[in-house]
A and B are shown apart, each in its own frame.
Chain A
Amino acid sequence: MELLILNGLVNGLIVGGIYALVGVSLTLLYGVLRVVNFAHGEFVIAGSFLAFVLFSSFGVPPLLAVPIAAVVFFAAGWGLYYVLIPRLARSDDPELMSFLMFYGVSIAAAALLLLLFEADSRTIDYTFTPVSMQVGPIYVSTARLVALAITIVVSIALALFLFKTLPGKALRAAIMNPEAIQIMGVDIVRLSAFAFALAAALAGVTGVLIALVFPAFNPFSGAEYTIIAFIVVVLGGLGNPVGALLAGVLFGLAEQMATVFLPQAMAQIVGFVILVGTIFFRPSGILGVRFKR
């Protein structure tokens, strides 16, 4: 049992780190733009497929795919912002419209992935050497440790960006009070485009990491990550990136530890119980910072 608990803790941290990244990009987008990106999971899985194509067609290893995904998705996100969001902003209820529009984008993106890659599950036939490392009495996959390291680096970089740089502070200010920041002379459209691109880049990087940690993915896998992202966002507090990071780790740990003590089929239920409990008893999220609009 001790071994199972130790496994649960280590894997909970790793899986939770991935969940945190899945959630943080969604919450960033919501915080700045009030856009409910229902296609977030498809963005993430598109990152996995990019890593797959880079490796299977050009021999690019997944580690190198991480920065490539960041650049490609940032550029794609920037372009997509100007295609989708300005029209959305002119609607009567942009928040609801964004939900509906991105639901459509989600279906279209999954269909496009299906057209390009067919319905079969894909995997990247790449393994690190050694395949796994012994951490005390348990073996942990090297790919997972690498993913954890990248998650930590990305999270620290994101935190430094948000708290120590001017654009980062502007993003946080936009989350807190978008009207005031415009009065201060900040170009909100450009800042929003940057937020959209940053969220897309994070989704792309997360997709590459997912290809390392959960090796099989298909065009329909996106919906599962969208659900996880929403759980993490609600747990962390809407529009709160730091909360999302913490919530992701908490959710991952809860899910993994549940599988130790309960039948595997109950693990997901535990995650949703935590979600419902949070909504009932702490609707502003685990950090308790109430979302301000």
Chain B
Amino acid sequence: MTFKLPRRTLIVTAAGALAAGGARAQDAKPIRIGMTVSSTGTFALAAQSGLRGAEIWVDDVNSRGGLSIGGAKRKVELVKLDDRSDKTVIPKVYETLIKDEKVDLCFGPFGSTLTAAAVNATETNNKFMVIWSASADSIYQQGYKYVVSATQQAGTLLGKPGVKFFNTLGVKKIAFAYLDEPFPAALTNGAVEEAKKLGMDVTMNEKFAKGTKDFNILIQKARATGADVFMPTAYEGDQMTIARQLREMNVDFKGIYFVYASQPQFLAIGKDALYHFSQTLLNERINWKVTGGLNRAQMMERYAKLFPNAQYPADFQTALAYGAGAVLEQIIQQAQSLDAAKLKEAALKLNNKIVTVTGPYEIDETGKQYKNEFAVMQNTPTGVEVVYPAEIATAKAIYPVPPYKDRK
């Protein structure tokens, strides 16, 4: 079966549409960046959210006249094709981008599943790929030469900021529980590893199956281990249930960490959300001293200007993709070339020299991202505050948290 390119879905962001920039920029050949976007399917919402981040970057670069390579300013053109959230068609679509559309380099699709399928095509054709949302460690264990995860930290590193934060508070005993799915499992395994490395006593590490509705016994088990801190990791729904059941059962820990506790839907559970710790990349309280691209406020302003009718507000996928564009800009400027090997070399040279909207940047030879750590937040009675890392903290952590019986 052959995949027929849906020509009608081909959309090109016209680089020259914005009048800013000098005459040389208009004459020079644009830099063509290929990416796929899911118009339908499981990943559609997240992919389109990320696309808007990439488009903010393209708009920003072109409004400044483009990128300077060899003395000539070249505008950026984003060539987008539909991947329909389908990992089986994505290698062919990237082949099309490279061979038919003659793109100079590629932006990854959304998520680990699609990225893992796409990267074979880019590597085979010696094209550089900037990854913005794939956290699966396995992608970086394949020996790929030309991939760089510009902003998305690897899955096993995602749980570490929380543990490091608790270590700064002097926590000695920590209990873990996680939903038995790749993301929560990877996050928790990394967190457990970090806790052990820091000399903490991991009193429990128990997984639960998808579809579990009642967490009473799990909570009681964690309490019985004598843990200071409880880190149950799952998606929003399970975490909201656990948060409510903790209060209903009057089970206290000195601190409780839910990955999604600062997200609006979690905060909707009201008092049950109070004092919990969480992590995120995009929040009005997270403001890095940006050295590459727009800062958070500027990015949000540009989002409102470019997408006044967007169904959803900017989210962390938007920030990840925008930040990846900002990193790519620095890589191209450093390399002064679009050659994949030179771009990768430049990407390594930029380690710890860029701070984007999602934080500092550092990769290893495999392209795996080690920085861009999530900030640790706490839901306080006055609002959501950043409590870690220290350089962007907006408040001191309330720890130990007040017992339920003392809360009004």
Point out residues on A near B: beta carbons under 8 Å: 3-4, 7-8, 11, 15, 119-123, 125, 127, 131-132, 138-144, 214-218, 221, 224, 227, 255-256, 259-260, 263-265, 267-268
| Contacts A/B (CB < 8 Å), 9 sampled | A4-B224, A7-B220, A131-B247, A132-B248, A139-B248, A140-B249, A142-B248, A256-B214, A264-B221
Q: Which of B206, B224, B241 contacts A264 (CB under 8 A)?
A: B206
Q: B247 — nearest CB in chain A belongs to which residue?
A: A131
Q: Which of A8, A138, A216 contacts B241 (CB 8 A)?
A: A216
Within 8 A of A (CB), among B378-398: none
- Tell me the chain B residues, 198-218 only, with Cβ under 8 Å from chain A: 206-209, 211-214, 216-218
A-B contact count (CB 8 A): 107
Query: What A residues does B235 contact at CB under 8 A?
Result: 121
Which of the residues A216, A260, A264 comes within 8 Å of B209, measured between beta carbons? Answer: A264
Which chain B residues lie closer than 8 Å to A140 at the CB level? 248-249
Binds A, one of B66-74, B84-92, B103-111, B264-272: B264-272
Q: In the complex, what's the smallest C-beta–C-beta distance from A120 to chain B, in angstroms?
A: 4
Q: Count of chain B residues with Cβ under 8 Å from any Cβ of A?
A: 38
In contact, B240 and A216 (Cβ under 8 angstroms): yes
Partner of A121, one of B209, B240, B250, B270: B240
Interface residues of B (CB under 8 A from A): 45, 177, 180, 206-209, 211-214, 216-218, 220-221, 224, 235-241, 244-245, 247-251, 265, 268-272, 404
Distance A120 CA – B269 CA, assembled complex (angstroms): 13
Q: Contacting A122 at CB < 8 Å: which of B238, B245, B249, B268?
A: B268
Question: Which residues of the partner chain B approach A267 to less than 8 Å between Cβ atoms?
Answer: 208-209, 212
A229 CB, nearest partner CB in chain B, Å: 13
- Inter-subunit contact A215/B250 (CB<8 Å): no
Contact B248 A11 (CB under 8 A): no
Taking CB as reference atom, which chain B residue is nearest A141?
A: B248
Contact partners of A125 in chain B: CB under 8 A: 268-270
List the 5 closest pairs (A to B, CB-CB), nearest first.
A141-B248, A121-B237, A216-B240, A125-B270, A216-B237
Would B236 and A120 count as touching, CB distance under 8 A?
yes
Q: Are B240 and A123 in contact (CB under 8 A)?
A: yes
| Cβ contacts under 8 Å, A7 to chain B | 216-217, 220
Contact among A4, A121, A131, A139 with B217 in the assembled complex (CB-CB below 8 Å): A4
